[in-house]
Amino acid sequence: MTTSTSSSKIPVDQYDPEQLKAWIKAEALALGFSDCVIAKPDAQVELPRFKKYLELGYHGDMHFLAENLEKRADPTLLVPGTKSIICVRMDYLVAVPEPRLVPFAPNSAIIARYARGRDYHKVMRGRLKTLSQKIKAKVGDFESRPFADSAPIFEKSLAENAGMGWVGKHTLLIHKTSGSFFVLGELFTSLELPFDQATTKHCGSCSACIDICPTQAIVEPYLLDARKCIAYLTIEFQGIIPVELRRGIGNRVFGCDDCQLICPWNSFAKTTPIDDFNPRHSLDDIQLLDLWQWDESTFMANTEGSPLRRTGYQSFMRNVAIGLGNAPFSDEILQQLQASRPELNDIVQVHIDWAIQEQLMKKH
């Protein structure tokens, strides 16, 4: 008689908890995750700071951030029965940038490094599901649910409290030997696993990220005004970008890495083993004028399975128009901006008009 797979499993309560935790971490690393920690399903400590952030209006149009505060603070309300949260991170650099250098290439279109390849949310969720299946194959069935920036979770706080790093002055998580060029994911589980402990902060007196921010969005250490942040303006915000912020945006058409590029801890940044993060359609080396030629069907084709889809075609072209306005004077840029583009909406046209004026001011 053949023994079934399910009956050959050793029940979870027969494992030494520390050994099971170590095994889970090893399996996570084998799947391509850069780190794995076990967090307590409790983020109450984050709530006062977050409420202050909301009261100041620093979340801008991201109204969803003000919702489900109880679930954010208590993950067991989001997924009942949660006993532990497996927090993972994925490095996403395909090449380590030169330390503390923000490149100046004004005719290039700058796309944040995480967004140049496949949408990491799909990669992350898929691998978290695989990790869950591997654990179930070992210990039997348990409740689990994967998340990748897809639910009301204080994911940085959970990871920080379990020792994955510390939240830096730019509000991103920093790891002492890996920097900050990584994305986070969580697997909520009903497993009773030993929790990892928090680490200490190591920003010290450094203010490099605050000083370098082109729009001065880091209003004080550990506090970011999203309404000034280039990542928010070029990705989340769908309206007319305030005139006083447009020059600061420069040639960044989707996100911004400046605060990470200048951070001394990113001299330890690691490259990713995951092919999905490799740039598509030359998005790591493309000119503003090349993107300006994209019509909506080209945008949709070139952003399939990409984070760039989030901003939508019209807002993307708005961002490219700002980049062209900020570029050094060029007859070709001026001609391209002045050419009729009836498919672009009124919001984009406002930014085209501004860009034309910026180019004309630099002509003489």
Active site positions, annotated: 149
**208 token code pair:** 């490099």
Block residue for tokens 């920690």: 37
Q: Is 206 annotated as a binding residue?
A: yes
To which H or E segment does residue 166 belong? Answer: strand 166-167
Name which of 257, 77, 41 is nearest 157 in CA terms: 41
CA 141, 68, 56, 45 torsion-angle sign: negative
Residues in the chain: 364
Rounded CA-CA distance 346/301 in Å is 24
Specify the 3-state DSSP secondary structure of 222: coil
CB within 8 A of 211, min separation 6: which ones? 262
Neighbours of 297 (CB within 10 A): 9
DSSP codes joined into one string, 110-152: EE-GGGSSS-HHHHHHHHHHHHHHHHHHHH----EEEESS-SS
CB contact at 8 A, 183 and 123: no
Pair 182, 33: CB distance under 8 Å: no
87 assigned to a ligand binding site: no
318 vs 340: CA distance, rounded Å? 15
Diameter over CA atoms, the chain: 89
> How buried is residue 293: exposed, middle or buried, by Cβ count under 10 Å (0-12/13-18/19+)?
exposed
Whether 36 has a binding-site annotation, put simply, is no
How many angstroms separate the first and last alpha carbons of the chain? 89
Contact 165, 202 (CB under 8 A): no
Per-residue HEC secondary structure of 162-206 comes to CCCCEECCCCCEEECCCECCEEEEEEEECCCCCCCCCCCCCCCCC
DSSP state of 36: E
Residue 173 marked as a ligand binder: yes
**Binding positions:** 72, 149, 173, 184, 203, 206, 209, 213, 229, 256-257, 259, 263
**Binding positions for cob(II)alamin:** 72, 149, 173, 184, 256-257
**Binding positions for [4Fe-4S] cluster:** 203, 206, 209, 213, 229, 256, 259, 263
